[in-house]
Amino acid sequence: AGRRQLMLWSSIGMFVACMLMGTFGTMFVEKDAATDSYVVSNDSARWVITISTFFFVFNFAYGFGPIVWVYCSEIFPLRYRARCIGVS
């Protein structure tokens, strides 16, 4: 698979995960006045937010996570690459 497709599908997956977390967080997360903390009022919403977090990490792990290291190794000229990668 090419880098472009990996980054495209990775960003789509991360977008979906963020949209789910944001939507369910806005709808079902409330501030508890007694403990001054935030709680999720619905058990299903709690699971959706948790699974969306794992889904985001999964999509980052095969796309944007490793691609950064590939780009870093291609930026520098061959003569200075080893030193520059060691610094970056």
- Identify which has the larger pLDDT, 84 or 19: 19
Q: What is each CA distance from 6 to 17, 60, 61, in whole angstroms?
A: 16, 10, 10
Checking if the pLDDT of 25 tops 90, the result is: yes
CA angle 16, 68, 77 (to 5 degrees): 155
Burial letters for 40-49: b for 16+ Cβ neighbours within 10 Å, e otherwise?
beeeebeebb
- Give the residue-averaged pLDDT of 11-38: 94
- Give the residue-averaged pLDDT of 64-68: 86
Q: What is the mean pLDDT of the chain?
A: 90
Q: What is each CA distance from 41 to 23, 29, 35, 47, in whole angstroms?
A: 14, 6, 15, 11
